[in-house]
Amino acid sequence: MLSKKYKAIDIGLIILFLSSFVCFLFWVLGMYVFSKPRYIYGHNLPHSGEDTFDSSLLRLNTLDKLTDYCDSVQATTSSYLTYPDVVSEAIRRKFYHNYSYYHVYNNAMGIFLSTLTGEGSMAVVIPDDIVKYPFAACSQQSIVSMEILKKKGYPVRKVSMLDSVTRSGHFAYEAYYDKGWHFFDTDQEPDEAVLRKYNQPSSAFLVAHPEIIIEAYHKRDDPQLSKRLLMSNKLGPVNKFPAPNAYLFQVVTKYFTRLGFLFFLALIFVRYKIRKERRNLSGLATVKRKEIAKAFS
């Protein structure tokens, strides 16, 4: 019975090793063969033209590069723009709206496991990975913005919304400076000139003055939807990453995509050594018993 159990464990470890090695090969292919981002090699998503998208910012493909860009703009921009204003403008230009997902060439282990966890677990939440794409959803744009601002010492919090009529959701954020909270929506891109008339107000101020919401979102197809969304907003805790479970899942699966095969190979080697030691000990015990039996015969 035990031998069957041990065989099942051995077979399972071999399957896990082979699977993780396949994931590693996909990662190598992604690094050295299909090294261009997904949006270039066959998964290009159309840009509607409604967003303030600037393809020249594709070069800002790490969080540090994007932060340095914001720093340089802040150093040369007009004094009326705060640093959060600069970050908001940069994110508007860096991304157009669409979800960015991991794919088999950069997180194969996650892709395989997403058949169990759902496709949503592969929507990128690691900030340094989001910026590798030209498109990002509202939550992803907010995550990047919040990370940059947190690095600069600004308290931030998420603003989540759900429209009870259409059941559509939305995600934005607030930053704290000048003794108050200020609302930013880089994805739906309300009219900044309108918001700046009111000193980039908080979501609470906008909820108290719904006519400003309609004025700010006048370029959207349905400003009433924007109003309903903001009226439903819920504020998250200060400086807390908005998707901790997805972040952990993606970090672990990326690690196992690259190095998981070594982990399972080490387990196989350890089990082999233990079984070998047991066989040796068993053999010595058998010899010892025979010697004792021979001595008393």
Rounded CA-CA distance 126/36 in Å is 19
| Residue 297: burial class (beta carbons within 10 Å; 0-12, 13-18, 19+) | exposed
Q: Is residue 75 part of a domain?
A: yes
Q: Is residue 216 part of a domain?
A: no
Number of Cβ within a 10 Å radius of residue 46: 8
Q: Which residues pair with 97 in a beta bridge?
A: 136
pLDDT grade for 297, boundaries at 50, 70 and 90: low
pLDDT at site 39: 46
pLDDT at site 30: 82
More confidently predicted of 8 and 98: 98
pLDDT at site 72: 93
Q: Is residue 85 part of a domain?
A: yes
pLDDT at site 67: 97
pLDDT grade for 290, boundaries at 50, 70 and 90: low
Q: Is residue 282 part of a domain?
A: no
pLDDT at site 210: 95
Give the relative orientation of helices 83-94 and 138-151 as an angle to the nearest 10 degrees.
140
Q: Which residues pair with 162 in a beta bridge?
A: 169
For the chain, the DSSP string reads -HHHHHHHHHHHHHHHHHHHHHHHHHHHHHHHTS-S-TTTTT-PPPP-S-S---GGGGG--SHHHHHHHHHHHHHHS-TTS-HHHHHHHHHHHH-EES--B--TTT-HHHHHHHHHH-GGGGB---HHHHTTSSEE-HHHHHHHHHHHHHHTT--EEEEEEE-TTT--EEEEEEEEETTEEEEE-TTT---HHHHHHTTS--HHHHHH-HHHHHHHTTTSS-HHHHHHHHHT-EEPPTT--S-HHHHHHHHHHHHHHHHHHHHHHHHHHHHHHHHHHHHHHHHHHHHHHHHHHHHH-
Residue type, 186: T
Contacts of 231 (CB under 8 A, 6+ apart): 207, 210
How many domains is the chain partitioned into structurally? 1
**DSSP secondary structure code for residue 223 in this structure:** H
pLDDT grade for 195, boundaries at 50, 70 and 90: very high
Write out the two tokens for 199.
Answer: 């000193």
- Determine contact, residues 134/39, Cβ cutoff 8 Å: yes
Rounded CA-CA distance 106/296 in Å is 68
Q: Is residue 102 part of a domain?
A: yes
Lowest mean pLDDT among 50-64, 122-136, 139-153: 50-64
More confidently predicted of 226 and 51: 226
More confidently predicted of 27 and 217: 217
pLDDT at site 221: 83
Q: Is residue 105 part of a domain?
A: yes
Per-residue pLDDT tens digits for 247-277:
999 999 999 999 988 998 898 888 888 777 7
pLDDT grade for 147, boundaries at 50, 70 and 90: very high
pLDDT at site 155: 98
Which residue range forms the structural domain that includes residue 65?
2-154+243-257
pLDDT at site 272: 81
For 235-297, the DSSP string reads EPPTT--S-HHHHHHHHHHHHHHHHHHHHHHHHHHHHHHHHHHHHHHHHHHHHHHHHHHHHH-
pLDDT at site 12: 86
- Determine contact, residues 71/87, Cβ cutoff 8 Å: no
pLDDT at site 271: 83
Q: Is residue 45 part of a domain?
A: yes
**Mean pLDDT, to the nearest integer, of 128-151?**
96
Per-residue pLDDT tens digits for 73-118:
998 876 678 999 999 999 999 999 999 999 888 999 999 999 898 8
**How many residues are recorded in the chain?**
297
When the pLDDT of each residue in the chain is averaged and rounded to a whole number, the result is: 87
With a pLDDT cut of 90, the percent of the chain lying above it is 62
Rounded CA-CA distance 131/58 in Å is 8
pLDDT at site 33: 67
Residue 36 has pLDDT above 90, yes or no: no
pLDDT grade for 294, boundaries at 50, 70 and 90: low
pLDDT at site 42: 42
Q: Is residue 287 part of a domain?
A: no
Residue 220 has pLDDT above 90, yes or no: no
Per-residue pLDDT tens digits for 38-82:
544 344 555 555 678 898 999 999 999 999 999 999 988 766 789
- Which phi and psi angles does 101 have, rounded to 5°? -120, 150
pLDDT at site 135: 92
